[in-house]
Amino acid sequence: MVMSLHYSLYSNVKLPLFCYKPASEFGSKFHPNLFIKNSSEPECLNQLCPPANQSVAAIVFGDGSSHSRLYPLTKRRSEGAIPIAGNYRLIDAVVSNCINSNITKIYALTQYNSTSLNSHLSRAYSGARLSKEGFVEVIAAYQSPDDNGWFQGTADAIRRCLWLLEEYPVVEFLVLPGYHLYKMDYQKLIDTHRRSKADITVSVFGNKKGEDLGFGIFKLNDENLVLEFRENHEMSTRKSLSVENLVNFDDNEKCNFPSMGIYVINRNIMIKLLTEYFPTANDLKSELIPGAISLGMKIHAYQFNGYWEDMRTIEAYYRANMETIQKTNKAYNFHDRDSPLYTLPRHLPPTLVTDAVITDSVIGDGCILSKCRIKGTVVGMRTRIGDKAVIEDSVIMGSDTYHQTGISEGEHTSIPVGIGEGSIIRKAIIDKNARIGKNVMIINKDNVQDGNMEANGYIIAGGIIVIIRSAIIPDGSIL
């Protein structure tokens, strides 16, 4: 195989021309994927050339909406900061994908409720894992003499940060939503992008799910080139859409693919789109991408066929947590040696279990579990569960700190953080720092599908009871 990669589009980026050669041309000591870009520079083994850590910058969106689909989990935090699988936050999956794909220049653009996300990112990824010149830089929406107000959308956010994003002469920007759960080697996506010499490459989901709801849809030709894009505006209203709504876009369903919201955009194309062609556009999905198509730019699609959960509803978030306790983990592999999931080391003590019966569950660090029964449940860090409590098919997020039992300064209840003695919880999500009293039953007794009982500390979404962060559920309550 001989393949030349020419970066003719990148007038403002100075790069040598590169070529792939068969292993035989380099002699048998080289790996078949070896590519030598310059004899005086280190070899790139099994990776992109130029290597992703030098030529790609990731732009991760950690939040953005005051109308989040994951409310009330986003009442006090952005989507990316939502805990998952006991020890992690959602944004860890995307940042870990970047690190495992050798992309170490990562900008996280945040806006709403971003305090905990900013704190997590800056403490978890402060350089150690990111090699020389690697960073996760959190850029929270800010005001300056030139820019007033919040980020008006994804395109506006990138435009306002261009002065920073342009700092490194990368070849491509990789735009990523920050709260999807999946494993992707972005190097493959970028390799496809470079080989096709596209201006933009979008990632589409190859395994269309039966319950596909409200995705943006790309219509492709036989060569995976994008012909059209339609964003489903219903999505913003959080309505569930049927498959029929989804495929109305074209009679030929086979050429319609859901957008994953992931884009590789050549650096100079990004700059031109934002500053010359569409200088007032606010949104990538509804303005820049359709605009690029209308300008006749070359937009290629990369099909992804692995596990992907985009957390578009509370049910999806619940489902993703339940995947973590499957014995045959075909979904998201948390135990993957080759592409680990990173997070903030908390230095917590091991979980203390006294006489508890625990089956098919994941238990985070630093929990104190007494004579309780736990089945099919994700138990997050520092969770305290009292005697005789029974927890099934639930997500317990845990606590931010250890709390003393009894009333302490600043607290208005004697109910401690955690799950009280004799309580029964089934198919529920208990957000952090919630105080569930003794002999409480959280079982959705009236089998409600959707309901807002926020004043009482919970909502019900898709039949799942969600206890709001720091809510107090008094002794003996039955929900």
Residue in the block written with tokens 């036989």:
222
Q: Distance between CA 71 and CA 238 in Å, rounded? A: 11
Can you tell me which of 65, 196, 456, 470 binds ligand ADQ, judged by CB under 6 A?
65
If one asks whether residue 260 binds ligand ADQ (CB under 6 A), the answer comes out as: yes
Shortest Å, Cβ 150 to ligand ADQ: 6
Interface mask toward ligand ADQ for 125-154; x: CB under 6 A: --------------------------x-xx
Can you tell me which of 64, 83, 416, 437 binds ligand ADQ, judged by CB under 6 A?
64
Q: Distance between CA 203 and CA 300 in Å, rounded? A: 9
Nearer to ligand ADQ, 113 or 377 (CB): 113
Shortest Å, Cβ 358 to ligand ADQ: 34
Can you tell me which of 105, 285, 300, 427 binds ligand ADQ, judged by CB under 6 A?
285
Yes or no: say if 178 and 62 are a contact pair by the CB < 8 Å rule.
yes
Q: Distance between CA 311 and CA 88 in Å, rounded? A: 15
Can you tell me which of 172, 212, 231, 393 binds ligand ADQ, judged by CB under 6 A?
231
If one asks whether residue 258 binds ligand ADQ (CB under 6 A), the answer comes out as: yes
Query: Among 331, 302, 380, which Cα is nearest to 85's?
Result: 380
Q: Distance between CA 443 and CA 115 in Å, rounded? A: 32
Nearer to ligand ADQ, 63 or 392 (CB): 63
If one asks whether residue 261 binds ligand ADQ (CB under 6 A), the answer comes out as: yes
Shortest Å, Cβ 81 to ligand ADQ: 12
Q: Distance between CA 247 and CA 257 in Å, rounded? A: 9
If one asks whether residue 81 binds ligand ADQ (CB under 6 A), the answer comes out as: no
Shortest Å, Cβ 34 to ligand ADQ: 36
Can you tell me which of 63, 287, 309, 323 binds ligand ADQ, judged by CB under 6 A?
63
Q: Distance between CA 97 and CA 187 in Å, rounded? A: 10
Q: Distance between CA 285 and CA 288 in Å, rounded? A: 6
State the DSSP H helix or E strand holding residue 161, giving kind and residue range, or none if neither: helix 154-165
Binders of ligand ADQ in range 175-194 (CB under 6 A): 177-178
Cβ neighbours of residue 32 closer than 8 Å, sequence gap 6 or more: 22, 23
SS3 state of residue 263: strand
Shortest Å, Cβ 321 to ligand ADQ: 18
Q: Distance between CA 429 and CA 187 in Å, rounded? A: 35
Stretch of 119-127, 258-266, 405-413, 446-454 contacting ligand ADQ, by CB under 6 A: 258-266
If one asks whether residue 216 binds ligand ADQ (CB under 6 A), the answer comes out as: yes
Yes or no: say if 461 and 455 are a contact pair by the CB < 8 Å rule.
no
Point out which residues bind ligand ADQ (CB under 6 A). 61, 63-65, 109, 111, 151, 153-154, 157, 177-178, 215-216, 231, 235, 258-261, 284-285, 310
